[in-house]
Amino acid sequence: MLSAFPEEPHSYSIAYTYSDWHANIDPNCHGNCESDSDSQTNAHSETPCDIEAAANSGAKAGRSISRFVCGLPSSGAEHSEVEDPATGFLDFARNDNAINDTNEFENSCAPLILRGDVRTLIALEDGRHFEGESFGATGTCVGEICFNTSMTGYQEVLTDPSYRGQIVAMTYPLIGNYGINSLDAESQSAHVRAFVIEELTDVPSNWRSEMSLHEYLRKRNIPGAKGIDTRALTRHLRTRGAMKACLTSDDISPEEATQTAIKGEGVIGMDYVREVSTNKIYRWDPEDKLSAPWSIQKSPDGQGRRALPPIRSRIAAYDYGIKENILRLLRQKGFEVTVVPAGTSAEEVLALDPDGIFLSNGPGDPAALDYAHKTVNDLIGKKPIFGICLGHQVLGFAFGGSTFKLKFGHRGANQPVKDLHTGKVAITAQNHGFAVDSESLPSEVEVTHINLNDGTVEGMRHKELPIFSVQYHPEAAPGPHDATYFFDQFAELIEKQKW
């Protein structure tokens, strides 16, 4: 809480701790505090909050290293240097790292005093930089930096192939508190270039935890940065848009790191699908050991799994970077799933004689996947098709449409989507930086769902053929389960085609 000081004619620096900062703001905000006018290319997700009011009550934007500011007289200067009696380190009550009224930004003028062993620098390609502490692996990496507003599910984020080539910042302030376990991974490896958080839980507390987040990233050679002002970083990306960044623990200057970011790879024009797709055709979970819903209650055989339904249909799933929970849910809905590489031709897939075709999620720029556009176009009219996320975008190209880059994307578990047929609104899990251009779609394709934050296309279907897709993740993981019914719709669509 705020320290109680005797009333004096002069002002004081305020002892405002990390917990107090978040106790005085809207917990649903997660750093998205600005109203954007360019809604066509923006995802104004999250509830706005009055960040200025929070700042006036003592919560400065440079909160991440200002956890133990003592109550000493202040003359009103922006930087009050105070020695922490417990550690002897200097901390700063600062108002830097905040976007000013002219939408310009300022980098810290004061030297950063860290409590960690290794300093980490994040330099954005527009010149803005942040300093924090290293965890996980050390080194230098470059990628597009983006933010995710999910409160849980950091392990699923790390292992989601859709994040290939990206540096991910979590807006929720405390990460790592339930550790890492072997059951919640969405793929066999971590795919993010680097991981950025505000505060790391050093000692996870969960009965399923097998290792800490720090240990997990270190073993997989993924660099992490903690102590970063993720609220300031998020506001900057919302204002200026997603961009390339360099994250480094090496001894280089911010200017050098900025040049590294400028020269590095981003996402536009990149085909990361070939890096994450399987290189061979295989059947998912042929012995039904991986797909049953997990439960804390033991089944009759002593395992924490429930029985799976019998197989009703056989489908081929294109692996553009497929998440394992998608495969699990498909099997739970009665599908036998054969996974095929992203470059598999239409002829090869049709030779498998599936009842339907599934197009998965995946990373990178959908416009760079010419081979996938052609293949899906060749499959139109041959089999029922259901696409998710990148699969939805590929289907848009196959229809003759196009996509465009969102300013900062939709990434989180709280995106509102409206079904234009029923009027119902679902809260959905999303992870994408591109959207299908509704104006580019042919007349035989109709938009079925829209994002209520920015009006972008979230679902579409062919008016005559059994083909439909959604931009978001019905399987969630993490996220709400409002949209799992799409898997049932796919099953019903296939059953109708059989007759």
> Which residues are catalytic, by number?
389, 473, 475
Q: Within 13 A of 493's CA, how many CA atoms are on the CB side?
A: 22
d(CA 51, CA 30): 11
List, edge to edge, every strand of the sheet that includes 457-462: 282-283, 335-341, 313-319, 356-359, 385-388, 467-470, 457-462, 445-451, 403-419, 425-436
Q: What are the counts of helices (DSSP H) followed by strands (DSSP E) for the chain?
A: 12, 23
3-state secondary structure 266-295: CCCCCCCHHHHCCCCCEECCCCCCCCCCEC
d(CA 464, CA 461): 9
Q: Report how far Cα 34 is from the mean position of its chain's Cα atoms.
A: 19
Q: Which two tokens stand for residue 384?
A: 């029922």
Q: Within 13 A of 465's CA, how many CA atoms are on the CB side?
A: 18
Rg (CA), the chain: 24
Q: What Cα–Cα distance (Å) separates residue 210 from each residue in 181, 216, 453? A: 5, 10, 38
Q: How far apart are the first and last CA of the chain?
A: 67
The residue to which tokens 């701790």 are assigned: 17
d(CA 453, CA 410): 10
d(CA 476, CA 460): 19
d(CA 381, CA 357): 11
d(CA 314, CA 36): 45
**Paired sense of beta strands 166-170 and 282-283, if any:** unpaired
How many CB atoms are closer than 10 A to CB 95? 15
DSSP state of 172: S
d(CA 249, CA 266): 20
Q: Tell me, what amino acid is at 281?
A: I
d(CA 391, CA 385): 10
